[in-house]
Structure 1
Amino acid sequence: MYKPADIDNVTFKGSFMGGYNQEQVDNFLLSLSKDYEKLYNENEDLKKKLTILAQKVEEYRTQETNIKNAVLYSQRIRDEATVEAEAKSKEIIEAAEKVSKDLIDDVEEKAAKQREEEEKRLADFKAQNEKEIEKEKKALDQIKKEVSDFKLKLQELYKEHLKTILSLPTYEEPKEEEKIFDEKPEESKGVILEPIENEQVAEETEEVEDNSNENEEAEQEEAVEEKTTEAYIDKEKVRRALDLQDTIETEQVKIDFNIKD
């Protein structure tokens, strides 16, 4: 491409015939040189600007590449961190689940073992208590039978005592005729011996009757004392039976309470 100086320094050879006017050509070339110089300068300015713009574009492209690389790097780091975090999180969760499962299994195993032991202990305790209850029930039935027998004996004893009391002699006031008969021997002094003999016989008879009554009373007292002793013994049995019944009822309440728990 021609520069403005090249246009200014150009020369044309003259010709003898039909040549151009040298002055016109020179003026034209001068004008053309100025225009061309202007265009050339503008073109140089544009080239410089284009170079600057190209440099800027290159810088922008470099920056863009760097930004892209940074974004890609950060994205890669983020992805790696995410993958690593997910892996660690999964590992932690699996470990926690394993520990939790082991703890739950251990607790369930201990609870099942303890429940089995408690059920066995409760069954043994219940069986033992049932045996004790059955034993105490038998004892209670026996005591009830003894109490019933004692009641019958007591009724018989009462009947015997009543019969004995009813059989005791009663005191009767002497009649008027007997009093008069007793007074007549005192009035007639000549016949004292006969009433005295009769009185002696009566006294002897009364003594025999008194001795007989005393013997009967003694036997009755011995029988009453013996029955009283038996009644006392039976009363002790009744008291023991009542105490035993209270104990059985208390134990039954405890057993019911333990079974409910």
Structure 2
Amino acid sequence: MPLTPLDIHNKEFGRRLRGYDEDEVNEFLDQVIKDYEAIIRENKELQNQILTLQEKLGHFSNIEETLSKTIIVAQEAADEVKQNAKKEAQLIVKEAEKNADRIINDSLAKSRKVSLEVEELRKQASIYRARFRTLVEAQLDLLSHDGWDSLETASREVATTE
């Protein structure tokens, strides 16, 4: 059991002949008591400071652990968002490729249809020209025959008889 200031204060020494000066001993013991009490107070204050610092350290350790977990969760969430964005981007690209293929196929089909229509119109124009040429040639042929001459003569004769 440690020595207390009261133990020092209450300590009595036996007396002998030619012993120490009692006043000097008492004065020294008073000084020891004061110093010892100061050391005990300082020790208690330091222990209280240690407890306070340990509590703060525990608090900061909890904060550090919480922050560490939060950072890990945030990193995982960021990775998940990144992966989701990547997947969504891939889906958008695939959809765009499908739409592009569809648009190209539709354009090719329309182009073929227009080409066929143009070819059909060319054939019809060629047939029309051929028929028109035949008609014009028939009309020219009719004009170049003698039948017109007899009509001219008949009409002159009618005009002269009148």
Normalization by structure 1: what TM-score? Answer: 0.51
Aligned to 2:80: 80
Q: CA RMSD in A?
A: 3.1
Aligned pair in 2 of structure 1 residues 164, 117: CA closer, same or farther (>3 Å)? closer
Calculate percent identity across the aligned residue pairs.
20
Q: 1:130 to 1:10 in 2, by over 3 A?
A: farther
CA distance in structure 1 between the partners assigned to 2:135 and 2:100 by the alignment: 50
Alignment of 1:14-93 (within 5 A): 20-82=20-82, 84-93=83-92
Q: Which runs of 5+ in 2 are unaligned?
A: none
Task: Give the distance between the partners of 1:11 and 1:140, measured in 2 at CA.
Answer: 165
Alignment of 1:101-250 (within 5 A): 101-145=100-144, 150=148, 152-161=149-158
Following the alignment from structure 2 to structure 1, what is the Cα–Cα distance between the partners of residues 77 and 161? Answer: 123
Q: Which of 1 and 2 has higher RCO (CA within 8 Å, sep 6+)?
A: 1
Give structure 1 stretches of 5+ with no counterpart.
166-261
Q: Which amino acid in 1 is paired with 2:153? A: E
Match of 1:97 in 2: 96
Give the number of equivalent residue pairs: 161
Q: What is the rounded CA distance, in whole Å, between the counterparts of 1:101 and 1:5 in structure 2?
A: 99
The CA distance in 2 between the partners of 1:14 and 1:140, in whole Å, is: 173
Report the Cα distance in structure 2 between the residues aligned to 1:88 and 1:141, rounded to whole angstroms. 78
What displacement does 1:105 show?
2.7
Residues 82-117 of structure 1, C-alpha deviations (whole Å, 9 max, x = no match): 2x2222212212221221122123202211221221
